Amino acid sequence: MKSKDLVEASVFIDGDGGGGGGTSNYNSLQNKPKINGVELIGDKSGDDLGLGGGSADLTSDLKTSKAVGGIPSGRTYTSGTSLEQIFRDMLNPVENPVLTAPSASISAAGGLLVEEGVPTAKVLTVSFNRGSINPAYGTSGYRSGVATGYSLNGGASQAGGSFDVTVDENNKTFTGSVSYAAGEQPKNSIGEDYGSPLPAGSVNTNALTFEIVAPLWSNDSNITQVTKEPLISKSAKVKQFDFPAQTAANPEIFDVPASWNVTGIELLNTLSGQWVDCASEFTVSDTIHNGIAYKRYTYNVGIATGARSVRVKWN
């Protein structure tokens, strides 16, 4: 049998010491644990250890030489800073959200090209972005409140952001505006107020401008008939026509607005894959479409050819 003379080596710092109601033997320790020179004492209540004999504060300034947890290298803690604060900074540093202001944008269904001389109905949409509080830290995550009204070009406010407009040479630039309610109080990672709520206000969109452009014309869809091409921006500076086979009686034709400065006419060489100059093969004359002056370019060689691609350049 084992000896009954067992030696208990446990030292009970908290509680009653166990073993039938004995008292704590903490005071019998020869080398009592200390933090910052302050002895740890047991309160005999089963709670965590407290600090006795003084406050648990730094007695002199402390500058970190390396990053530790959430504490960056180079941070200085002044004398009197509590150890609790240091541990919180190290294990659970306070983080602040990034605040992004609200914004607004404007767009047009069907693009920004409008035919010269043809007033065109368009639908414009003014959109609102409430900004953000990121991370949200208990808020909705929005910097502003909800939109309270939309307007266009300084006009009357309305509930939604959709606007029906007619675009022509005298009405081609539009700017939207959105009014919004006040936002929430931003919070940091420990629930404290960070900054201030965004007050009610308004934000404008960038200006949206339509390009009023005269269309090109050609007989590349039907060699016997010159028709209007889909609109192309003048800033494109090049247009390719894919002509079907032509005859002497029905040559290739394309019309360019007279106000555009044509700088080249080129033919695609299907053998080399290169574009080669062919301006001399076209005669220039005047014509008019819908009251707009054009220069007409007509193939002048007087022979039948197969289908081919021709492009015109301008600046």
What SS3 class is residue 279?
helix
What pLDDT does residue 35 have? Answer: 52
Q: Are 141 and 98 in contact (CB under 8 A)?
A: no
Instruction: Please state, rounded to an integer, the average pLDDT across all residues of the chain.
Output: 88
Q: What CA–CA distance (Å, rounded) separates 209 from 168?
A: 11
* In a shared domain, residues 119 and 193: yes
Kindly state whether residue 90 falls inside one of the protein's structural domains.
no
**Token duo for residue 265:** 């006419």
Number of structural domains in the chain: 2
The pLDDT of residue 91 is 85
Residues 187 and 254 occupy one common structural domain: no
Q: pLDDT value at position 2?
A: 43
Asked if 133 and 207 sit in the same domain, the reply is yes
- Domain boundary residue among 157, 187, 212? 212
User: Are 113 and 207 part of one and the same domain?
Assistant: yes
In a domain, 206, yes or no: yes
Backbone angles phi, psi at 26, to 5 degrees: -55, -40
Residues 194 and 263 both lie in one domain: no
Looking at residues 263-275, what average pLDDT do you find?
97
Query: For the range 44-53, what are the long-range contacts, defined as Cβ-Cβ under 8 Å and sequence gap of 24 or more?
Result: 44/14, 44/15, 44/16, 45/14, 46/14, 46/15, 47/14, 49/13, 49/14
- Among 186, 212, 238, the domain boundary falls at 212
Structure confidence at residue 49 (pLDDT)? 41
Q: What is the pLDDT of residue 207?
A: 98
The answer, yes or no, to whether residue 1 has pLDDT greater than 50, is no
Asked if residue 123 belongs to a domain, the reply is yes
Higher pLDDT among residues 294 and 33, named by residue: 294
Q: Are 162 and 203 in contact (CB under 8 A)?
A: no
Is residue 231, in this structure, part of any structural domain at all? yes
Say how far apart CA 298 and CA 254 lie, in whole Å: 7
Looking at residue 169, its pLDDT comes to 97
Which of 159, 104, 107 is CA-nearest to residue 128?
Answer: 104
Listed residues 212, 243, 275: the one ending a domain: 212
Instruction: pLDDT band for 119, please (50, 70, 90 cuts).
Output: very high
Q: Say if 84 falls within a structural domain.
A: no
Identify whether residues 202 and 279 lie together within a single domain.
no
Statement to judge: residues 221 and 304 lie in one domain: yes
pLDDT one-digit tens code per residue, 210-254: 999 999 999 999 999 999 999 999 999 999 999 999 999 999 999
Is residue 57, in this structure, part of any structural domain at all?
Answer: no
| 305 and 265 in a common domain | yes
Residue 142 has pLDDT above 90, yes or no: yes
183 and 225, same structural domain? no
Same domain for 199 and 120: yes
Return the pLDDT at 29: 55
Same domain, yes or no, for 134 and 185?
yes
CATH of the domain at 142: 2.60.40
Domain membership flag for residue 135:
yes
Burial of 197 (0-12, 13-18, 19+ CB in 10 A): middle
The pLDDT value recorded for residue 225 is 98
Domain containing residue 160? 102-212
Within a domain: 62: no
Average pLDDT over residues 39-62: 59
